[in-house]
Each structure stands twice: as C-alpha cells, then as structure tokens.
Structure 1
Amino acid sequence: MARSKEFYRDRGTLIWAFIFPVCIIAAIGFAFSSDEQGIFRTGVVNPAGDLSQAAKYLAAPWVKRIEYPDRGQALDRMRYHQLDLLLDGSEPGVYWINDLSVQSRTAEKLLLADTGGTMERRTVSGRRVRYVDWVIPGVLGMNIMFGSLFGIGYIIVRYRKNGVLKRLQVTPVTRLQFVTAQVLSRLVIMLASAAAVYIGCDLFLDFVMLGSYLDLFLITTLGSFSMIALALIVACRTASEELANGLLNLLTFPMMLLSEVWFSMDEAPPWLTVLSDCLPLTHMVQGARAIMIEGAGLGAISRHVWILGFMSIVFLVVAATLFRWNER
C-alpha cells in the first residue's frame, strides 16, 4: 500500500505511465495510417517535373508511389529489390527497372501498356538483400540503445537515491570527470556485448558484411557514446526511478520506431523523416547498414560520423553542466 501511494503521488511518474503510451499510439497511428495498398513500389524523383506520360500508370490503385530526393538513393533501393520501377521528372520518357527482378519486369509491362510502349528503358542490376541482412544493423543498434540508456540511466538515479553521489561530492572528483568516467565504462561494456552478439549472430545467420570492420567499429563507438551521454542528461537530476523509466521510454520508443530498425522510412511523411534524422540511433543504424550492405567507406558515411560526433559532445557537455550530486 505504501509503495502504491508513493507511485501515484509522483506526478511525473503518473504522466509517463498513462499519458505517454496514449501519445505514442496516437502519433504512430497518425504518421503511418494510409489508404494506399499498392502492389508495385514505384520511385519518383523530381515529382515537379514532367511525368505526364506515366500519369495513368502512377494513378493506378496497384501502384505505390514513393518520392525520393535524389536519383542515387532511389537506384540503390532498386538494386536491392526494394523498388520495382523508377521515374524521374527531369528525364521524361525514361524509366528504370532492375532486370533481375520479376516484380520489376511485371511493373514494366503495366507501364508500357499504359504509355503505349513509347518510353525508354534503362536497367540496373543487383542482388536481392535478405531482410535479415537489412535488419541486423538495426537490431544490433537497438540492443546498444537499450543497454546504453537504461544501463547508465538507472545506475546514476540509484546512486543519487542511495546517497552514493552525495558522498562523492566531498571528494576531489569533478562533475565532468564523474560523467566522463561513467560514459567510458559503459562504452567498454556496450562494445564488448555488441561484438559478442555480432559474432554469435554471424555464425548462425551468415549475414552480409561488405565493408571495413574498422569503419563499423568507429560508427558503433560514436553511436554508443552519444546514447550513453544522452542517458546521462536524463539521469543528471532525476531522483525517482519511476520518472527515470518514463523519460527513458520517451527516448527509446521513438528511436525504436523511427530509426529504421525494423522498416525503412522511405514512405514516411517528410516531417517524420526530419524527426528521425534528429535521433542518434538513426545515424548509427544507417551508417552501419551502408558499411555492411553497400560496402561504404568513411567518406560515404561522413555525414553520419560528423552528426554523431557533434551529438556526443553536446550531450556530454549538457549532462556535465546540469549534473547534481544530491536530490535537491
């Protein structure tokens, strides 16, 4: 009974326990609700251009239209059999298919039937990427996310609640030194556990790894560091384990759903893609996926590396600045 009273007297805990799940369900339902049930996934680049020849095809109910900001990204999706056909408004009268995909050839026949066979065909080739090959970077990233956020978040809150931090306050240790030590110790644990999971999964699933292991280690280290530092921001002043749990869930659920762990964000609304781009897990997963599946080097994923590095520094400085030793 006493524990129950402690729970409902904590307003922060009540908010995260009851309001947060409703908000998550409503947001996801709104973002991903769509009446489109297209069979053939058709990419469109430069939609403001001239697509008049393919207008009838694009309007068909069996066509799922997906817009891309640049042709290179769309062609990569086609090489991996994630798109069936591609149109570019800047090159009217031209279409692209994957000549190794049966689905792509079928979409081509429908397009030619609607256009009278007047469009020019261009082809790309590429092997089909298994879903397990595509999803494994996301699963590994999700494992690191949970271990980083909950592992460090709960420990700091428990230290504060039990008075450990209060005793450390009288020592020569500064806030920045303490916070940095927590980040580095957890980082070693997370990298070791991620390496063990990677090796174990590879033995059973034999997934694709085309890039450099050193590059993969670097992007994993930066991603882990940024999420550990993010957890410290949550724990830097929180004294309630229940409130800490709600705040950590507030961070983990959006990242688990919007960071391309289980599915691509290609079909998501633009505003949701922008939100996804603000999450550290997104950059770690996309960078690791590019290295493993596409064989990308550091130059190709430099954007993700710089963003993760920037996030890591900002999160660590904010955590050290806001950190307090006791509950008050």
Structure 2
Amino acid sequence: MFKRILTLFKARNLEFMRDRSAVAWNILFPILVIVGFSLIFSDERQILYKVGIVGPRTAVSPASEAQLNSFIKTKYIDFIRFRSVPEAMPKLLHHRIDLLINTGTGTFWNSKTSPKGYIAERLLKASAVTPVAGFSKESVTGVEVPYIEWLFPGILGMNIMFSALFGVGYVVVTYRKNGVLKRLSVTPLRPWEFLTAQILSRMYLLLVTTAIVFVGCAIIYGFQVRGSYLTLFLVFCLGGFSMISLSLVVAARSSSEEFAGGILNLITWPMMFLSEVWFSLEGAHPWVLKVSRFFPLTQMIDAARKIMNDGAGLREVQSQLFILALMSLIFLITGSKLFTWHKQ
C-alpha cells in the first residue's frame, strides 16, 4: 500500500516539475503579490481613516486652529483636500471619506451609518486642546447610503469576475490538456463556433446566478435600485462579457492548469483590491488610481454604484459602458487570433 502511494507521490511531483511554467508561477505569484501590496499598502501609507478638509488653511478661530493642528498629527489618518463642500459631500455620503471638516465655518460632518465616521469624530473631539469649543457638528444633507448598500454592487461585480474568468478560461485550458479540443478539431466545429458557445453558456449562467443573488439579498436586506434596472442589466452584461473575453486571452494557448490558474489569480487579485470592491481608493497614490481605471471590474462597479446608489441613467454611465465595450472588443479579437485547438 505504502509503495503504491509513494509511486504516485513521485509521479505527481515529476509531472508538476516538468511543467516549468507552473513551477515558475507558484514561486513568482506570491512574490509579486507581496511586492504589490508593499508598494500600495506600505507602513507609511497604512490608512485607517480618511478625513476630507475644505476651506482655508487656517481655521476660523484659534480654538478650531489648535484642535485641527492636534488632529492632523494623528497617525494613520489621510487628510484629503477638496475645493468645496458640494464636491466633498457626495464622498462622505458614499463612504469614500469618513469625516468632513470645513475650516472656514468651524464645522464638521460625518455619516450616521459609518462606524469609521463615529471613531473619526471621537478622535477629532479628543484633539481639542482648550476647554473652548472648536469645531461643531452639523447635520448631513442629502441621502445617506448605508455601507452595506455601497458594498453590494462591488460584491456582485466580484462574483461576476470570478465566474467569468475561471468559468471559461480554466475550463478551456482543462479541455486542451485532456485532449477534448484535439478531438473537437477533427469535427466540423469551427473555432469561432466553439468560443461563441462557451461565451453564451457562461453569460447565461453568470446572469442567472447574479440575478438569484441580487433578488435574495434584496428580499433579505431590502436593497433598492434607484436607477433603471435595464441599464443595470446592460452594465452587468457588458462587464461579464469583457471578463469572459479576457479569460479567452489567458486560455488561448495554455495547456497547463497550474499556469492558467496563476495567471488568472494574478489578474483577479489586483482587480479585487484596486476596483473599490471593499473600500474606497479616495486619497490613494495617483498612479494607483490611474492603474485601477484600466480594470474592467472598476468600470463595472463604478457604473453599477451610480445606478443603484445614485439613481443614474444611461447617459451618466455611458463612458463606463463605452470603455467596457472597447475592452471586450480588444480582448475578444486577441483571444480569437491566439486560439488554437492543440497543445503548444
């Protein structure tokens, strides 16, 4: 028994070691993740709270000035300058910042639905260095979006991303490795017919599962769509299609499941953390914001949040739809040109 187990153990290890691309990715992938996170979330930039500031550099009163100077010295808080309250208030309502301070009037706002806003307010009040009142609190104007409602479009988008990338890319690679594509190549089936069937199948399953999750969460938590359901459906369709097209580029020639899995993980991890699925990138490095705009997940989530949280219509999300359509076209053409039935 042990001899048979040892023989299979050695055989599997040799099979893995012969796949040089898989070995390389198993070593390089965690290193790349660590390097990426060290650049984005270094100790010096480890931000726990984000505070927006509008108004002049000097506060309206000496007490407010002293309180603000003491507050600014607090570590792990990112202070972001805005030109006006109308510009900054939507950021507060959508949990992109935790607190908003107006130095010109000596007032501040925080969201009632934000736990971080509560802590930031306590830290501001604890920074008062004189018994004289410094900043005073004002009521937030506008519709506050609970964090769970802000998070919901991101979760739906993330689910679509994983379903599209691994549901098509990984499956096609498995077909090639197991010889399924080789057998299909001697049938009348054309490559574009095979790829079309894969895309349509995954789009159908993706939209059905997303609809089930959406309806279930809407019933349980009472989520609402303030915009058009048809526009939201179009966003998810284009977003899912762009992800599927991207997965075809990965699966076009590879016959190694380990290598394809490494590439897909290398794609999904940055998108998951830099597309504002869990948290806002407000105040992040400018290069991080620029890189995030190249991700299809960023465009899909951005458009979905505008529709679900803000009631935006087709015109307000047309730029995101155009970018998703352009990405889909580029990925689809690239994947189709590179596709081959046989192992390389």
Q: Give the TM-score normalised by the residue count of structure 2.
A: 0.80
| Counterpart among 31, 35, 49 of residue 22 in structure 1 | 31
Q: Secondary structure at the match of 1:301?
A: helix
* Residues matched between the structures, number: 320
Give CA deviations for 1:61-80 in whole Å, capped at 9, x if unaligned: 27530256997653211234
> Are 2:21 and 1:12 equivalent residues in the alignment?
yes
The structure 1 residue matched to 2:203, chosen from 177, 184, 187, is: 187
How many Å apart are 1:52 and its aligned residue? 4.5
Q: Does 1:293 align with 2:313?
A: no
What is the alpha-carbon distance in structure 1 between the residues aligned to residue 165 and residue 293 of structure 2? 19
1:259 to 2:275 alignment: yes
Counterparts of 2:81 and 2:191 in 1: how far apart (Å)? 47
Aligned partner of 2:92 in structure 1 is 78
2:74 maps to what in 1? Answer: 61
Which of 21, 46, 51 aligns to 2:57? It is 51
Cα distance in 2 between the residues matched to 1:286 and 1:70: 23
Identify the range of structure 1 (296-305 vs 98-107) with the bigger mean alpha-carbon deviation. 98-107
Q: Distance in 2 between matches of 1:85 and 1:141?
A: 29
2:290 corresponds to: 274
Residue 143 of structure 1: how far off its partner (Å): 1.1
Match of 2:250 among 196, 211, 234: 234
Range 158-167 or range 253-262, more displaced: 158-167
Counterpart-to-counterpart distance in 1, 2:160 and 2:166:
10
Q: Percent identity?
A: 41
Say if 2:142 is the partner of 1:126.
yes
Change (3 A) 1:257 1:40: closer
How far has the Cα of 1:118 moved from its partner?
Answer: 11
Query: Given the two structures, how large is their TM-score scaled by the length of structure 1?
Result: 0.83
1:31 counterpart residue number: 40
Runs (5+) with no aligned partner, structure 2: 1-9, 60-64
Residue equivalent to 1:146: 162
8 Å CA contact 2:78, 2:283 repeated in 1: no
Structure 1 unaligned segments of length 5 or more: list them: none
Higher alpha-carbon Rg: 2
Match of 1:137 among 149, 153, 161: 153
